[in-house]
Amino acid sequence: MRPAPFHSGEEALQLEAGVRDKMAAVGPRVIRDRMLPQHIELFEKLPTLFVGVLDAQGQPWASMVHGVPGFIEALGDHSLRITGKPLFGAPRFGLQPGSAVGLLGLEPHTRRRNRANGAIEQLLTDTWVVRIHQSFGNCPKYIHAREIVGRPERAPSKPRREGTKLSLKARQLIEASDTFFIASASGGQLAEQELGESAGAGVDISHRGGPVGFVRVVQGTSEDLLLVPDYPGNLMFNTLGNLLVWPRAGLLFVDWQTGDLLQLAASATLREATDAWSSLDAQRQLELRISEGWFHPAAIPLNWSPPKAPPQFSSQPSRER
């Protein structure tokens, strides 16, 4: 049997939860170095893809790329070719050959999602190829179901920079969200050789869902803080394990009606859940201190239907603000 594909941060949280031995056995069966046929099938029919990368300072960033279904193409079971570039606010956030990358394919209306982490193998003007080092599926838990209902012609505006104090528009988007995406990494400098040889090394991007208002904005004098409940998951602790060893995160919020995107860079601290989250069975709380960000108006030319809450939240009211 292959060794467990987890690094020290993931294993520490598994040990704390009393599941380290269990996950050491489960991990090699569910996290593979190649894509299964059903994973390829999902990626190739998606109109969007969520992407996590590191910038030159080791800060993770989460982004999104869109296209006509088929813009993601499997080159065998170890590589994906993607036509179109993720949106970033400044040149230093761009893709680089050999750099680590995390991918998340999500089909909201079926609640299917697959993750594929690896390194950029080839980078051309309009396309890029990712060599997959880790591929695994995730359960449909906490995903709000949505369907594409329109493809409006939108003229994206120039992205606006966000500082440590969020703009009103950014705060409103966060507080109205039932979903966001979080990019994390096992370190700030990740060589391609390390990605293939070190257990669990790499960049990851994952989905987080909750009732509307589950992300709380705490406004400070000089900086804003986001408080996020961490609900029970798959016990692999990919995101939280990364944040334990490299406490930086990239966040992405999407306005599913207007196509606006909000990218944020943050430092992360993991704490015990407060009483405010007890009714939703949150076990931990993430504190995310904003360092910078970018607001992209009308960035995604897709309109989505109103969400259908997952079973975990269908009877839960939105958090009062």
pLDDT tens-place string over residues 254-275: 999 999 999 999 999 998 877 6
Burial 157-194 (b: 16+ CB within 10 A, else e): eebeebeeebeeebbebbbebbbbbbbbbbbeebebeb
Residue 91: its pLDDT value, please? 52
- The secondary structure of residue 167, as a DSSP letter, is P
Q: pLDDT-based confidence at 169, cuts 50/70/90?
A: very high
Residue 321: its pLDDT value, please? 37
**Plot region of 76 (φ>0 → left; ψ -120 to 50 → alpha; else → beta):** left
Give the mean model confidence (pLDDT) for residues 9-17.
93
User: Which carries the bigger pLDDT value, residue 4 or residue 311?
Assistant: 311
For residue 217, how far is the Cα from the chain centroid? 19
Q: Tell me, what amino acid is at 299? A: A
Which residues of the chain form beta strands (DSSP E)?
48-54, 60-66, 72-74, 79-83, 100-107, 112-123, 127-138, 148-150, 160-162, 179-185, 203-209, 216-219, 224-230, 248-254, 261-272, 284-296, 303-304
Q: What angle do CA 241, 58, 96 make, to 5 degrees?
A: 115
For the chain, the structural domain boundaries read 8-304
C-alpha pair distances (Å), 122 with each of 95, 126, 312: 10, 11, 41
* Pairwise CA distance, residues 132 & 149, whole Å: 32
Whether the predicted pLDDT of 94 surpasses 70: no
Q: Quote the tokens at residue 87.
A: 């949106």
Residue 154: its pLDDT value, please? 81
Q: Quote the tokens at residue 236.
A: 């692999």
Residue 126: its pLDDT value, please? 86
CATH of 8-304, one of 2.30.110.10, 3.40.50.620, 2.40.50.140, 2.40.170.20: 2.30.110.10
Q: pLDDT-based confidence at 315, cuts 50/70/90?
A: low
Radius of gyration of the chain (CA): 18
Residue 277: its pLDDT value, please? 54
Give the mean model confidence (pLDDT) for residues 25-33.
92
205-259 pLDDT tens trace? 999 999 999 999 999 999 999 999 998 888 899 999 999 999 999 999 999 999 9
Q: pLDDT-based confidence at 86, cuts 50/70/90?
A: confident
Closest CA to 186 of 136, 263, 239, 233: 239
List 130's β-bridge partners, or say none. Answer: 80, 120
Whether the predicted pLDDT of 172 surpasses 90: yes
Give the mean model confidence (pLDDT) for residues 76-100.
83
pTM of the model: 0.93
Average pLDDT of the chain, as a whole number? 89
Expressed in angstroms, the distance from the first to the final Cα of the chain is: 50
